[in-house]
Structure 1
Amino acid sequence: MTLQPRLSAACAALRRHALVTAGLLACGLVQAAEAPQTVTGLKTPESVLVTRDGRIVVSEIAGFGQDGDGRLSLVQPDGSLKTLVDQGLNDPKGLAELNGIVYVADRDRILKVDRDGVLLTFVPADAFPSPPKFLNDLVFDAEGQLYVSDSGDLLSGGGGGAIYRVSPHGEVTLLINEAQDPAIRNPNGLLFDRGNPKQLLVLDFGTGELLRLDLSQGVKLSKLASGFGGGDGLAQDKQGLLILSDWKNGKVFKLDLKRAGAQPVVYPQAFQASADLTLSADGKTILVPDMKAGTLVFLPK
């Protein structure tokens, strides 16, 4: 038997058993016409991260506002869950990685965790210029500076959002807030544009707008698109295609910003509350935490 039939047979076996595995990713996961693969048993999953070494890390809030019940889990090769951290987390949300360390936005502080699950505080609440209300998403720039969104009074329907920059030593400065520009109402998803490393993309939960923060000369804000309901997560493939999630309406969109006049295209898959998504290492699959369903869905891009 040649190698290719063996690979095809192995992929078929994985699909038949509906396993969400590294094997599925290597096989290209599933064809577009097939149903998405799903990991179950998560407790209010908010964000998912694929690390450089291939681990799939999910942040689980469990009960909002309940201290100590949050956790980080690893999706195992057979689709089961393994706990990475189950103590010391409150409402863990956005995840980012630098040099093998995973950083976590945990309500009003930023934590970091190593491969063994050792948890440390990187930025305490009192290091922020103003008391943070709802730290949400995280992203690193090319210089190793960390950016974090504070979604403000998101839970009560108010504004008060802000975006902060954090130095490698944990020093926090305000980048922009709602008082400076009303478009920054409840900023959520953050992402640096692959083709423009000084362009920070921001998806706002309160307005459903996709914004661009030009950091090349100070901070210049502009609107790129709208209609994303409760805008949540952002991801981008190597060709520049954006993937966006709408938490309120349970939708996932794709948007080609490089094409003039392009409009968002919604995926047919419906979610209860699609949260902070990411792409698989090969860029062929969208990993979508469904917060209310307690699942992680592997959606063919």
Structure 2
Amino acid sequence: MKHFTLLFAFLFIGLTSCKLNKKAPIQKEIVLNKLWETDTLMKTCEAVRYDKVKDVIYVSNMGNVPTDAKDGDGTMSIISTEGKTLNQNWVTNLNAPKGSNYYKGKLYIADIDAIIKIDIKSGSTEKIIKVENSIFLNDLDVDTNGHAYITDSRDSKVYKLVNDEVSVWLDLKGLNPNGILVEKDRVLVVSFSKGDFIAIDKNTKEQTVIATGIIKGDGIVPIKEGYIVSTWPGEIFFVDKTQPGVPAIKLLDTQEEKLNAADIGIIPDKKILLVPTFYGNKVVAYKIGYK
């Protein structure tokens, strides 16, 4: 009887294991296939943002170096989803525009120590919101309520903009936060200095490491399987949302080509990744595929 019981137990475990394995999804390898690139007129392009309403892409051009100079040579361009330039100098007289996002007809842009509010219909600057004590505002994202979150990568702070009023949301001392992505209940940030990709609970401010090994992290975009994260020197990584805390998987490396990968964007419905190449002065698009 004892032997029969053990045999039954082993058979039960084996059958259960087989059943679970059949249900377990097979993770396909994500690959990036180049689709197109713009001309090289995007002077020091740092960030891109797809506007689903207008079906166009906004490009932040920082202009001449140094990139933190208040020299007024920064611009915003508009390109099509096929990489054609629609308006090279849509917005001018900016200093060093970087991360941006839109809400109800307004585009918000991080620009050194101010947030620039643009009326999308006219392309005119509606308001300049100074951020006191900020040093180098970098990336920006907007939630469904129209609240903007902005990183200061040189002062390790995250600011929050509500009704055109800005305040410090969180001090991330030593992290040097760069790329930012706002979700419903949390804010995701990638570090420029530590290589960590973290999630911050909106209510408790509790921090969780999602992935490691992303040195000089720059941009973040969401995909079904997790996230794609870029690094300024020219690397692009995949972060599997089902395996938090593990090293990210490298998808692309353009460092030998001397092409940076700054604040990336995405056209989600077409699964197209948009990469601003900074000193490469162009935007490159990749189809997100599988093998």
How far apart, CA to CA, are the structure 2 residues paired with 1:122 and 1:146?
Answer: 14
How many correspondences in the alignment? 248
2:87 paired residue among 77, 82, 87: 82
State the partner residue of 2:20: none
* Aligned-partner Cα distance in 2 for 1:99–1:176: 26
Amino acid at match of 2:280: A
Q: Which residue does the alignment assign to 1:270?
A: 254
Distance 1:256 1:208, change over 3 A: same
CA distance in 1, matches of 2:272, 2:156: 31
| Contact 2:211–2:245 under 8 Å retained in 1 | no
1:70 equivalenced with 2:55 (yes/no): no
Partners of 1:262 and 1:283 in 2: how far apart?
Answer: 28
Tell me if structure 1 keeps the 8 A contact 2:38–2:83. no
* Structure with the greater alpha carbon radius of gyration: 2
**Are 1:235 and 2:230 matched, yes or no?**
no
User: How many Å separate the matches in 1 of 2:285 and 2:124?
Assistant: 28
Q: 1:255 to 1:268 in 2, by over 3 A?
A: same
Query: Which residue type is aligned with residue 167 of structure 2?
Result: T
The residue identity in structure 1 corresponding to 2:37 is T
Q: Does 2:279 correspond to 1:279?
A: no
Report the TM-score when normalising by structure 2: 0.79
Equivalent AA in structure 1 for residue 252 of structure 2: P
**Where does 1:149-298 land on structure 2 (aligned, <5 Å)?**
149-152=151-154, 160-167=155-162, 169-178=163-172, 181-182=173-174, 185-193=175-183, 197-217=184-204, 219-237=205-223, 239-248=224-233, 250-259=234-243, 263-271=247-255, 272-298=259-285
Cα displacement string for residues 29-67 of structure 1 (whole angstroms, at most 9, x for unaligned residues): xxx685441112210000101112211110000122151
Distance 1:247 1:260, change over 3 A: closer
Residue segments in structure 1 that go unaligned for 5+ positions in a row: 1-31, 153-159
Relative contact order: is structure 1 or structure 2 higher (C-alpha 8 Å, sep ≥ 6)? 2
CA distance in 1 between counterparts of 2:90 and 2:123 reads 5
Paired AA for residue 181 in structure 2? L
* Whole-Å separation in 2 of the counterparts to 1:176 and 1:121: 24
One-letter amino acid of the structure 2 residue matched with residue 234 of structure 1: I
CA–CA distance in structure 2, aligned partners of residues 198 and 268 of structure 1: 30
Which protein is richer in strand relative to its size?
A: 2
1:73 CA drift (Å): 0.3
When the two structures are superposed, what TM-score results if normalisation uses the length of structure 1?
0.76
Q: CA deviation at 1:223?
A: 1.9
Q: Show structure 2 runs of 5+ residues with no match.
A: 1-30
- Percentage of matched positions with identical amino acids: 28
Q: Paired residue for 1:44? A: 44
Partner of residue 142, structure 1: 144
In the TM superposition, what is the alpha-carbon distance from 1:79 to its structure 2 partner? 1.6
